[in-house]
Amino acid sequence: MAESYILTGDEVKDWESLMFLYNSAIKEIMTKIEILKDEFEYTHHYNPIEHVTSRLKTPQSIVRKLKKQGYETDIASMHRYLNDIAGVRIVCSFTSDIYRIADMIGSQSDIKTLLIKNYIASPKPNGYKSYHMIVTVPVFLSDRVVETKVEIQIRTIAQDFWASLEHKIYYKMEGNCPEEIKQELTRCAEMVSVLDDRMLSLNEAIRQLSEEETVS
Ligand code: 0O2
């Protein structure tokens, strides 16, 4: 795992098999999202999804998180306690799209939703807004099916812009960020919320106008 952790031959095999599973789970989720996106475009002539990214958590980040939460830094703990080794992020245009996308994913019969963290309805004190779902998706291997955990984060473009910057300059500094920068980031998060609300209203107004044009 990290530089200071030497894995035995068996542990390397376990690590590789786990990473293979998480990577396969990401592929399953990405395919589902791709299909939903195509279907939405086909039936509604509208695409709520701007872009989708995925990542496997790095060994350094896995060790850091396990230590922070007080767990052993071994492969069994990481599999048991970490929910976000496989991560998929869906970035959409408007706040109203977030719940629509979450419902479409959560209602698929082979997906089990284990946990929802709704930081849209209850933003974090720093202003972080995003909708997190921890789900399991079945990964079909040659001899068995493994339900594998994936964290899906859904947020608007503006929320994603804020979170990416905040992650870079603060989140990874583990709290050692100067107070004035923290406050400025929180003020920026408030501006992001206002911007999202105004863009949503604007979109509604445009939609109504085009409906009226179609009727007349
Ligand atoms: P990285 O580098 O993205 O992997 P849980 O996973 O539910 O057991 P946790 O980690 O408290 O416990 O869950 P939470 O709050 O849902 O956070 C999971 C991920 O959401 C984080 O992963 C970040 O990617 C993102 N996140 C959460 N809070 C913030 C925040 O305040 N700012 C930003 N920019 N991102 C946040 P990692 O492991 O922290 O990081």
For the packed helices 95-106 and 179-215, what is the interaxial angle rounded to 10 degrees? 80
Q: Kindly state whether residue 4 falls inside one of the protein's structural domains.
A: no
Q: Which of 65, 128, 171, 181 to mutate for ligand 1's pocket (most ligand atoms within 8 Å of CB)?
A: 171
Residue 3's pLDDT is 43
Residue 52's pLDDT is 98
Protein residues with CB under 6 Å of any ligand 1 atom: 57, 61, 65, 83-84, 117, 124, 126, 128, 132, 163, 166-167, 171
Cβ-based neighbours of 40, under 8 Å, separated by 6 or more: 46, 47, 48, 49
Query: Quick one: pLDDT band at residue 13, thresholds 50, 70, 90?
Result: confident
The mean of the pLDDT values for the chain is: 91
Q: Kindly state whether residue 95 falls inside one of the protein's structural domains.
A: yes
Residue 132's pLDDT is 98
Q: Kindly state whether residue 84 falls inside one of the protein's structural domains.
A: yes
pLDDT tens by residue, 57-75: 999 899 999 999 999 998 9
Please write down the HEC assignment for all residues of 3-52.
CCCCCCHHHHHHHHHHHHHHHHHHHHHHHHHHHHHHHHHHHHCCCCEEEE
Residue 2's pLDDT is 39
**How much of the chain is helix, strand and coil, in % rounded to 5?**
55, 20, 25
Q: Kindly state whether residue 2 falls inside one of the protein's structural domains.
A: no
pLDDT tens by residue, 163-197: 999 998 876 677 688 889 899 999 999 999 999 99
**Domain that residue 132 falls in:** 9-158
Q: Kindly state whether residue 128 falls inside one of the protein's structural domains.
A: yes
Residue minimizing CA distance to atom 18 of ligand 1 = 84
pLDDT beyond 90 at 122: yes
User: In CATH, what number is assigned to the domain containing residue 86?
Assistant: 3.30.460.10
**Higher model confidence: residue 157 or residue 181?**
157
Q: What angle do CA 133, 138, 141 make, to 5 degrees?
A: 145
Q: Kindly state whether residue 119 falls inside one of the protein's structural domains.
A: yes
Q: Kindly state whether residue 211 falls inside one of the protein's structural domains.
A: no
Please report, rounded to a whole number, the percentage of residues in the chain having pLDDT higher than 70.
Answer: 94
Residue 171's pLDDT is 64
Residue minimizing CA distance to atom 2 of ligand 1 = 61
41 CA distance to ligand 1 middle (Å): 31
pLDDT beyond 60 at 4: no
151 flagged as catalytic: yes
For range 98-116, the mean pLDDT: 97
Q: Which of 102, 155, 110, 112 is nearest to 135 (CA)?
A: 112
Q: How many domains does the chain have?
A: 1
Q: Kindly state whether residue 52 falls inside one of the protein's structural domains.
A: yes
pLDDT beyond 90 at 213: no
